[in-house]
Amino acid sequence: MGGLLLLAGALAGCQRDRTIAVRGSIPSLDSSESPAAGVGVVALPYDRDSVLASMAQRAPTPKPNTARLDSLFASFRGPFLSYTALSYTAGIVRDSVEALHGRLTTTDHRSAGYRQESEQLRQLSDSLARMEARLHRARETLDRSRQQFVRESDSLRSIVRHWEDSTYQGYDSVVEQLTRNRGQEPSTDTTDATGWAHFRLRPGRWWLYAQAWDTSDPNAEWYWNLPLDSDTMLLSSRTGKRRPKY
């Protein structure tokens, strides 16, 4: 019996910490998957979703209906996208105008290249002026939509948040007990400019939890709660969920 205990202890001692690399990426305004910098990633020794689902099942009342909120989110997203897309495009054209203007200041005014780039600058400047007029109108539309959205959504959001505060009261105590029982402390890192975060974790089961803003919708977010099954994990639009922020 003593030999078996010694063997078990030796095997446990052979288990080493794991080095984990995590890369976060989310769709940008042009829908391309881009590195997500500044995202806080948490390695947890428990399944966060399971804990929340268990607490929700014991709630005395069901989660408030969010159909009206979802409809308001969808209505606001149109003006928001119109403005942000125009702002993004206008920024690119504005940078081109500034770069071209800078080149012309060092180009011989008598050269054919100067005349060609001068005409290009004129066309770009005219295009930018028209775009900025459209951007101004889009901003006015967005401001009107925001006022209406806030007026209707605040009370509905308050109902949902009140239910969440009541239902998930005691969450911290529950997960603290889970952590203590498993002898694994959560670990946190923030993705760098290239979207990478790194962890050194003790042996055992782990989940990666993270949230990131959805660039196409101020009322939505990207959410991840993934079991750790590899030494390199990808947090992307394919592995995450796009969900509303109530």
Decide if pLDDT at 5 tops 50: no
DSSP letter for 45, please.
S
Q: Which of 96-103's residues contact partners 24+ apart within 8 Å by CB, and which partners? A: 96/124, 97/121, 97/124, 97/125, 97/128, 100/124
- First-last CA distance in the chain: 57
Rounded to two decimals, the pTM is 0.83
179: left (phi over 0), alpha (psi -120 to 50) or beta: alpha
pLDDT at position 153 is 97
Residues 108-153 pLDDT 10s: 888 988 999 999 999 999 999 999 999 999 999 999 999 999 999 9
pLDDT at position 6 is 45
pLDDT at position 14 is 54
Does the 13-45+183-244 domain belong in CATH 2.40.50.140?
no
Residues 65-111 pLDDT 10s: 999 999 999 999 999 999 999 999 999 999 999 999 999 999 888 89
Higher pLDDT, 8 or 209: 209
pLDDT at position 4 is 47
Domain boundaries, the chain: 13-45+183-244, 67-167
Residues 15-43 pLDDT 10s: 789 999 999 999 998 889 999 999 999 99
